Every structure is written in C-alpha cells, then in structure tokens.
Amino acid sequence: MGFETILLKKENHIATITMNRPEVLNAINNQLLEELAAAMKEVEQDDEARVMVLTGAGRGFCAGADVTTMPGGGGQPMLSWEAPFEEVQRGIHLISLNLCAGIRKLSKPTIAMVNGVAAGAGFGLALSCDMRTGSEKARFVLASNRIGLNPPAGLTWLLPRILGYSKAAEIAFTGRPIEAEEAERIGILSKVVPATELERETIALGQQIAKGPPIAIKLTKQLLYYELHKDLEPHLDIFAAYQAMLHYTQDHREGVAAWREKREPRFQGR
C-alpha cells in the first residue's frame, strides 16, 4: 500500500513508521489515522520485522488531533457537533482502538522515538508503545483540558499504570507540560539522549531486541501485558461514552474557540 501521510522503512528487522505531516507537527487527521493502522497491520504480518519504531518527521513527534478536523476548523471534521450521540461515541471508540489498542495489541516490541512535542493523542501514541526514547527536546502535553474533553487515546488507562495514580491524576487534572528531564525521571521516557544521537540510540536499542529470540520475546510481551490488557477495551468503551457526552458541551465549544483565538478559555460548567 502506498502512503501519503506516513513513511514506512524496514531495515535489519526493524520497521520504522514515521508520521509525515511536519508542517503541522504530525497532527492526526483521518488519512493519517487510517494509514497508521494499515502500516501497523503490515508490520504485524511481516515476519522479517521484529521491532517497530514510531516517530514523527521534522521537529515534533505528534501534536495530537489536527485542529482543522475539529468542528468549525475548516477541514474535514473527524467528529461533528451535529452528529447523533451514538455516531460520535462509535467514532471516538474506533479512533481509540486504532491509536491505543492498535499499538498495544501489536505482538512485536514497539519503541516510540520522541523527537519533540507529543501532545494529546500524540502523548497517547507514545505511551501506547512498550518503550520510549527521547531527545532533550521531547515534551509531553495534555491539551484536552484546554478544549473541555477527557485525555484521549487511552491516556486515562495508560497514565496510572505507568506513573501511578497520584502523579497521573496531577498531570491529567492540570494538563501541565512535562519536559524531557522530568519525563525520564518519572518513567515516561526510558532514556534521554541528545537530539543528534536519538535515532542512532533508538535503532541500537531496537537492534539489541531484534537479535533476541523472536518467539520468546513475543510471548514475553504477552505475559508482561496479560494483567494490563484484560481491561483495556472495556475502559475504552467507557471512555468513548464519556468523551461523546463532553463532545456536546458548551465548555468543549468554548475550549475549541479559545484554542483557535489563542486565548484562555472561559469554562462555565455546562
């Protein structure tokens, strides 16, 4: 399959998927979402690919959902404010399954190579991978508070499992950015290296894993995730319902408007 919004490279048993919309910090639109799912399926079915690396082109990892795909944003909306609740809920659930569960279900080890900002759903993409390397320019941001929504892409499931409940709650409730040094300290990043060495260090880690016994590593991943995975999809069911409810609130509309107008939102709780 030919791709337009991602690049897929396979070399020495490592498949590297690069989100390739650098002009918008690799923000997610419908096409990127579909192509990312197709690329992961291709990697899963390729016996020569033993490790998957996910990264972004240019100076960012992924800025989350493309603001032009939000209602009134001028582009093709991913979800409309006029759509019925059930349609919005199904759409949110499908997006979450593709982004979060799609990566988590990959039988092969996955590494997020975080070269810059990972915001919103981009943050979720990074945490969905088994490991994360980052440069000193890596930055993690939960932008959902700014637009009156829940943290997307499985983050409410991932954050407490990676960080513990207290730290996860602090980050989810405040939405404050996490810089590279703190991200390494609290366990979001496995290691931080200079930007000029990030690709080399990440590929070296991937090659170290790829040299191991593929079947044993695949089964080890299943064992590591056994207890974690059994409640992921029910969690995403509930998340989709809650997010769909928030989709219709005045606070969400105000948050999107404030985001576009580059001002602080004025939430009213309705």
Domains of the chain by start residue, with CATH: 6-195+213-261 (3.90.226.10)
Is pLDDT of 269 > 70?
no
Is pLDDT of 72 > 60?
no
pLDDT value, residue 2 = 83
Where residue 77 falls among pLDDT bands split at 50, 70, 90? low
Q: Cα-Cα-Cα-Cα dihedral of 95, 114, 64, 102, to 10°?
A: 0
When pLDDT is averaged across residues 122-141 and rounded to a whole number, the result is 95
pTM score, whole prediction: 0.81
**Least confident range of 12-16, 143-147, 188-192:** 143-147
Residue appearing with tokens 């291709």: 42
pLDDT value, residue 61 = 97
pLDDT value, residue 73 = 47
User: Given strand 191-193, what is the order of strands in its sheet?
Assistant: 6-11, 14-19, 51-56, 110-114, 131-135, 191-193
If residue 252 lies in a helix (H) or strand (E), which one and from where to where? Answer: helix 250-261
When pLDDT is averaged across residues 34-41 and rounded to a whole number, the result is 93
When pLDDT is averaged across residues 236-241 and rounded to a whole number, the result is 67
pLDDT exceeding 90 applies to what percent of the chain?
49
CB 7 within 8 A of CB 57: yes
In this predicted model, which residue has the larger pLDDT, 161 or 246? Answer: 161
Average pLDDT, rounded, for the chain: 85
Where residue 101 falls among pLDDT bands split at 50, 70, 90? confident
CA distances from 18 to 36, 184, 214 (A): 9, 22, 23
Exposed e or buried b per residue across 95-132, where buried means at least 16 C-beta atoms within 10 angstroms of its C-beta: bbbbbbbbbbebebbbbbbbbbbbbbbbbbbbbbbbbb
